[in-house]
Amino acid sequence: MSAGCCGEKETKMNDGSEGKNSCDDKVNRIAENSAGPVKDTVITREMCLYCFDVLRSYLFNYKLPPKPVFTNDAYPLFVTWTTGTDKQLRGCIGTFSPLSLHDGLREYAITSALKDTRFQPIGTDELSRLHCSVSLLTNFEDCRDCFDWQIGTHGIRIEFANERGHRKSATYLPEVSKEQGWNHTQTIEHLVRKGGYRGEVTAEFRSAIKTRRYRSEKISISYQDYALSRGLNPTM
């Protein structure tokens, strides 16, 4: 199951009956049980290098890169692409269902680059300006209420009923609220809007939101870093 993660642009998050961009309780329980705390040796720079390998191979119709050397354990994960010195978002999609890292990063490197419906697919002319981030999600916990999490420490995933009574969900990774300068109330309001809710966000509405918090390990590199590692021209 796929989900968008970031706050620069808003997108609808559907419930399970509508397919993509949803995560139900079963998936979250699997994630919690399957992905224990991320250790320092799990998240590595090679994961971002591999995502660049995959995207470059796809864009130029090259042979797929060889099997990577990092662990193939299963984790919920997100891949984020940004562009330029100000790192504007170009794509961010991931899954709360644990995937083996080799297959999961290969899949979501492409999905986030080409299939984030908020943006046009990334093209070959953008490659040299890109930055890639990989996030591995861990430590899923139920919250007492929608404010029971720490800005800059926890990501959150919320579930709520929209104006028609349909269940909706949306998520932000741990860095989003801090980067945007939002407090808890502002983060929740942006997140329910991202989930498609257009009504008034009252105290009563907030009290009915089901919230789970999680942590992540994140690593990022630029295309210039990638090109240097692979012996490529950093401007192409």
pLDDT tens, per residue, the chain with 236 residues: 577 766 544 333 333 333 333 333 333 433 444 344 444 569 999 999 999 999 999 999 999 999 999 999 999 999 999 999 999 999 999 999 999 999 999 999 999 999 999 999 999 999 999 999 999 999 999 999 999 999 999 999 999 999 889 999 999 999 999 999 999 999 999 999 999 999 999 999 999 999 999 999 999 999 999 999 999 988 87
Residue 209 domain flag? yes
Task: Note whether 168 and 13 are within 8 A (CB).
Answer: yes
* Gap between the Cα atoms of 83 and 87, Å rounded: 5
CA 94 to chain centre: 5
Residue 235 lies in a domain: no
Question: How far from the centroid of its chain's Cα atoms is residue 28's Cα?
Answer: 15
The answer to the question of residue 20 being in a domain is yes
Cα 150 from Cα 123, distance rounded (Å): 37
Q: Residue 227: in which H helix or E strand, if any?
A: helix 223-230
User: Domain of 67: which CATH number?
Assistant: 3.30.700.20
Q: Does any domain span residue 43?
A: yes
Q: Is residue 24 part of a domain?
A: yes
In a domain? residue 129 = yes
* Residue-number span of the structural domain to which 169 is assigned: 2-230
Q: Is residue 166 part of a domain?
A: yes
Q: How many distinct structural domains can be found in the chain? A: 1
236 within some domain: no
